[in-house]
Amino acid sequence: MSELNKQAANGGSSLFPTYARYPIALVKGEGSWLWDDQGNKYLDFMCGIAVTNLGHAPKPVKDALAKQLAELWHVSNLFHIPNQEAAAKLLTDNSHADAVFFCSTGAEANEAAIKLARRYQQKVKGNGRYEILTFAQSFHGRTLATLTATGQEKVKEGFLPLPEGFRYIPLHDVEALEAAITDKTAAVMIETIQAEGGVLPVDPAYLRHLAKLCKERGVLLIFDEIQTGMGRTGKLFSFEHYGIEPDIFTLAKGLGSGFPVGAMLAKGELAEAFSAGSHGSTFGGTPIATAAVKATIETMLSEDAAGRAAETGEYLVSELRAKLAGNPFVRDIRGQGLLVGIACAGPVAPVVAEGQKRGLLVITAGPDVVRLLPNLLVSREEVDQAVSILASIFADLTAAAQLT
């Protein structure tokens, strides 16, 4: 293909067209704010999709990265990495988990969880179990295994044949859940809030019943905390809201304040399933990545980021309900902590686009839900500003619709 044809096929870019990008090039970030290459300023209520949980370029993390960049970047996991040990200890000291596996992404973390569950059942328990149960409208990643685990058909189109050993359950259907668990079931994987599926919180009673059922039937319980973890819902990990201790849980997104890193954590009895050589990741837990993790966790704890997310989240939801009350386009406002969804009566892409024009960045969660993901240290003044912009957008769009 000629250079001219290449440019025509891909809009002049050398990148694969895998992303429907917004017409903005962001070049600088600080706290709750971003600037584009034209000098325009934006209040960031999407945080790179729940990644920059401490805001953009938090100083403690920036300082830790600068120090590590001046010392050592990469050595491989054939050597002991002090930062990795320290970051893992912070995670286990602040959870019920006993062992941590570091990787580079959330999808990798979920892959590791799936592999650990199967290997534990087959190599340690010796029962041959392999099936992973997940839920309709769930989202677990883009690798072949994790998109197969995802309960949304749209992410699977064109990737057949998919790996075997995954089954799907309608969320909140207790009878379907109990019937789905068989002597082939290795684990059940669930999100406490289906963030990509519409910001849909799972009923606490259902989660507790699931945990009880898994324990009774020898099935491992995996919580996908990729988006809900790291303080986002008002606890360091969202399962803390329910008094549940999953056998395995996964983290990424907010774990490294924007540095790419993921982690899979598990109870101690599962550790022997991942013996030397059974799993690995070249870039998992590098000195740089775990410097970011260590500084991120230490800052979250010292700033009580999770507690602040709980308080600010309540304020955000109350203000949204007050300012959007009576708007016929708004159907529901839901979520937990600073993972909030505004469910609407129709497509919300115009809300996102108009927000960008007025200096507010938000994101969708499906076609009819506006998702709000501010950083956990966002101020009330910034919340007020975001709510004011959203209220004006909804009022203007509703008025325009009524005129037509």
Could you tell me where the beta strands, DSSP code E, fall in 45-116? Answer: 99-103
Q: Which of 101, 102, 224, 247 is catalytic?
A: 224
Q: Which of 102, 135, 237, 253 is catalytic?
A: 253
Residue 38: what are its φ and ψ, rounded to 5°? -100, 0
Rounded Cα–Cα distance for residues 53 and 402 (Å): 38
Rounded Cα–Cα distance for residues 45 and 3 (Å): 39
Rounded Cα–Cα distance for residues 117 and 39 (Å): 49
Active site annotation includes 259: no
Could you tell me where the beta strands, DSSP code E, fall in 8-164? Answer: 26-30, 33-36, 41-44, 99-103, 131-135
Residues whose CB falls within 8 Å of the CB of residue 391, separated by 6 or more in sequence, listed in order: 323, 324
| The one-letter amino acid at 392 | S
Rounded Cα–Cα distance for residues 16 and 245 (Å): 41
Query: Which three-class secondary structure state does DSSP give residue 359?
Result: coil
> Which residue carries 């991942």 as its tokens?
274
**31 neighbors 375 (Cβ within 8 angstroms):** yes
Which two structure tokens, joined as six digits, stand for 167? 């089954």
Active site annotation includes 253: yes
At 388, which helix (H) or strand (E)? helix 380-403
Q: Which of 102, 139, 166, 237 is catalytic?
A: 139
User: How many of the other CB atoms lie within 10 Å of CB of 164?
Assistant: 8
β-bridge partners, 265: 100, 249
Active site annotation includes 224: yes
Between the alpha carbon of residue 59 and those of residues 30, 62, 292, 306, 380, the distances in Å are 10, 5, 11, 18, 21
Q: Any idea which residues carry the catalytic annotation? A: 139, 224, 253
